[in-house]
């Protein structure tokens, strides 16, 4: 099996832009790149690796941690695939419970028990404990493991406020490398370090690339104003290229 990048993107449900980013950070390299055309091609092994990547994304692992896990010498592919299957079965069972609960709710019955996801959450926690041994993930867990739902909500709001400040600068025709915008990049870096993990320039540069490579991040940041994600990415690039 050999697929060009657009075909592979359609088959896996991942955008071409995301595949370019995964290639750039070494998470998923093409099986072959045509030296004449530059076209990227993916094969069956690429598909298996993408499946594993999606498994860990489902468990909310950061991309950096996923790369470290998959590169670990004691990583067991078959075991990971079995755990993926188990996770999907648990999700399927929970969805079926919720569908049945909708019928009962329309009859006026109490269906609060249908929202119990304890088994799924327990399994996900066990999977994270088993596979999340990278230093990056450990640091993230140590710092954020005790956060409440309100804390997570507040953090998301504060992060969006920072992106909104970037949007204001963009609307005011500030350049990404201007002093005011670079001050915002520093503010963003400090905020991530304070609340999540030590955000080095290397990590920050990766985040800047991800903001435009992953539609989920792009769409969220662009809620402030269309083009904000690209503006932030360019500002981070300027910041990280200076010493």
What does the alpha-carbon distance between residue 243 and residue 241 come to, in Å, rounded to a whole number? 6
Q: What is the 3-state secondary structure (H, E, C) of 84-136?
A: HHHHHHHHHHHHHHHHHHHHHHHCCCCCHHHHCCHHHHHHHHHHHHHHCCCHH
Specify whether 176 is located in the same domain as 212.
yes
Domains contained in the chain, number: 3
Find the domain containing 93 and state its range.
Answer: 77-134
Counting other chains too, the contacts that 97-100 makes at CB distance below 8 Å and 24 or more residues apart are none
According to the model, what pLDDT value does residue 112 have?
46
Q: Which residues of the chain have pLDDT under 70?
A: 59-60, 84, 87-88, 91, 94-95, 97-98, 101, 103-138, 140-141, 243
The CATH number given to whatever domain includes residue 44 is: 1.10.1660.10
Is residue 204 in a domain? yes
- Whether 210 is covered by a domain: the verdict is yes
In a domain, 127, yes or no: yes
- Establish if 67 belongs to a structural domain: no
Please check whether residues 50 and 82 belong to one and the same domain: no
Both 154 and 230 in one domain: the answer is yes
Helices marked H in 172-200: 179-195
Residue at 38 is within a domain = yes
**pTM of the full structure:** 0.50
User: Could you tell me if residue 203 is inside a domain?
Assistant: yes
> Are the beta carbons of 230 and 212 closer than 8 angstroms?
yes
Residue 90 lies in a domain: yes
Q: What is the pLDDT of residues 223-242, one digit of tens each?
A: 888 899 999 999 999 999 87
CATH of residue 215's domain is: 1.10.490.50
């Amino acid at each position: 099996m050999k697929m060009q990048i657009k075909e592979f993107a359609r088959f896996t449900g991942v955008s071409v832009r995301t595949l370019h980013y995964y290639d750039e950070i070494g998470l998923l390299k093409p099986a072959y790149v045509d030296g004449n055309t530059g076209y990227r091609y993916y094969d069956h092994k690429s598909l298996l690796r993408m499946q594993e990547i999606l498994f860990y994304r489902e468990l909310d692992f950061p991309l950096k941690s996923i790369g470290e896990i998959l590169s670990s010498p004691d990583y067991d592919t078959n075991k990971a695939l079995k755990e993926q299957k188990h996770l999907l079965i648990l999700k399927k069972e929970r969805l079926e419970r919720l569908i049945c609960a909708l019928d009962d709710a329309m009859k006026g019955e109490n269906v609060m028990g249908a929202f119990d996801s304890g088994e799924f959450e327990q399994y996900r926690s066990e999977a994270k404990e088993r596979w999340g041994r990278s230093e990056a993930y450990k640091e993230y867990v140590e710092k954020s493991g005790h956060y409440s739902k309100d804390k997570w909500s507040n953090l998301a709001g504060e992060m969006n406020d920072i992106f909104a400040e970037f949007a204001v600068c963009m609307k005011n025709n500030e350049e990404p490398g201007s002093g005011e915008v670079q001050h915002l990049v520093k503010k963003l870096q400090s905020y991530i370090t304070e609340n999540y993990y030590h955000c080095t320039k290397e990590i920050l540069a990766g985040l800047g690339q991800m903001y435009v490579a992953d539609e989920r991040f792009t769409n969220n940041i662009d809620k402030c104003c269309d083009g904000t994600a690209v503006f932030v990415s360019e500002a981070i690039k300027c910041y990280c290229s200076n010493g």
